[in-house]
Amino acid sequence: MKSLKAVRTDSGLSIRVEPRALVVGVLLCVAALVVAVVLIGTGDFEIPATDVVSTLLGDGTTAHTFIVNDLRLPRVLVGLLVGAALGLAGAVFQSISRNPLGSPDIIGFGQGSTVGALTVIVLFQGSAATVAAGSLVGGLVTGVLIYLLAWKRGVHGYRLVLVGIGAAAVLTALNGYLLTKADLVDAARAYVWMAGSLDGRDWDQVWPLLGLCAVLVPLVLAYARPLRMLEMGDDVAYALGVRPERTRIVLMLSAVLLTASATAAAGPVSFVALTAPQLARRLTRSPGPNLVASLLMGAVLLIAADLAAQRAFGADVLPVGVLTGVLGGVYLLWLLVAERRAGRI
């Protein structure tokens, strides 16, 4: 048994370590830091990386301190948190549905959040904060509805994916209808929101998101072991002393909250939840939900996409959601082809 290693103490504690997953985790953390520093330095006013670091350590000029701490750091932090939340939520949903397509952006949560946000924008011309609240409510209601629709002595597998895809179609139609009702100004605002962007995000978005993640991430990670057992089917998990439905409800609710709050903060940034867990899994080569690696991968993916969106297209600075959409779309096609070859669809 090469794959199982643990750190043990004389007092009877033993913690499992997967060396490869550990290395991948450290590398992803380093990647996140590097991209974050470069991203903070990027913009109309370029700042060299060394100055960014010294400013972050409290040793910068007044101008740099203002640009870094007040303008760009919160944006990057929102990006990291949104990416991490989406990566983790994606890993949870893909594990529960035992299907790489079972991620929140495919099964209707993004669309549900959009319905909430568009309702506020189009029907009430609400403020940014109420748009975020609307999106949060939209995502949560969609999550509960999909759970109830997919429930038949427990929720799992294909039923969740199929019900979710159906819900996504209905919600997309609803969004189309809302847009036709909008006047020109509201419609423009709606489109910007729907693209998914980190533009103009400040500390007001950071704190609530950080607070939610501080509660939900440890909760989800504490359920990683029962989640791993659930991958062998409800009956096996039950026999091992896991309560399948309770585990699933706690995890799905947390994942829906994570997705909804990420979407409330940055709009529906597509495909991060879909791709991060799969990429993480290929790097760690470890069976099981790979929660920590997926979380880190999501964070790196999102800010790397934001960096590319600002740098790669010359003067045209794109919203990050457009870039993740393009990259994720290509990935989704590849995934469908690969799944087809493997005979799973």
| Binding stretches for another protein (CB under 8 A) | 1-6, 8, 12-16, 98, 222, 225, 228-229, 231-233, 235-236, 238-243, 285, 287-288
β strands within 37-191, DSSP E: none
- Smaller CB distance to another protein: residue 58 or 152? 152
C-alpha distance from residue 9 to each of 2, 166, 212 (Å): 20, 51, 34
- Smaller CB distance to another protein: residue 188 or 337? 337
Question: Shortest gap between Cβ of 14 and another protein (angstroms)?
Answer: 5
DSSP state of 319: P
Residue 233 to residue 46: CA distance in whole angstroms: 53
Helix (H, G, I), strand (E, B) or coil at 271: coil
Question: Shortest gap between Cβ of 242 and another protein (angstroms)?
Answer: 7
DSSP state of 68: I
Question: Shortest gap between Cβ of 8 and another protein (angstroms)?
Answer: 7
- Smaller CB distance to another protein: residue 22 or 49? 22
Question: Shortest gap between Cβ of 225 and another protein (angstroms)?
Answer: 7
- Smaller CB distance to another protein: residue 20 or 199? 20
- Residue type (1 letter), 166: G
Contact by Cβ (8 Å): 257, 269: no
Phi, psi of 46 (to 5 degrees): -75, 140
- Smaller CB distance to another protein: residue 214 or 236? 236
Residue closest to 266 by CA, chosen among 329, 208, 186, 332: 208
Question: Shortest gap between Cβ of 324 and another protein (angstroms)?
Answer: 25
Contact by Cβ (8 Å): 197, 320: yes
Contact by Cβ (8 Å): 137, 116: yes
Question: Shortest gap between Cβ of 301 and another protein (angstroms)?
Answer: 22
Q: What is the CA radius of gyration of the chain?
A: 20
Question: Shortest gap between Cβ of 228 and another protein (angstroms)?
Answer: 7
Count each helix (H run) and each strand (E run) in the chain, helices first: 16, 2
Question: Shortest gap between Cβ of 231 and another protein (angstroms)?
Answer: 4
- Smaller CB distance to another protein: residue 201 or 248? 248
Contact by Cβ (8 Å): 134, 195: no
- Smaller CB distance to another protein: residue 153 or 184? 153
- Smaller CB distance to another protein: residue 14 or 180? 14
Helix (H, G, I), strand (E, B) or coil at 257: helix
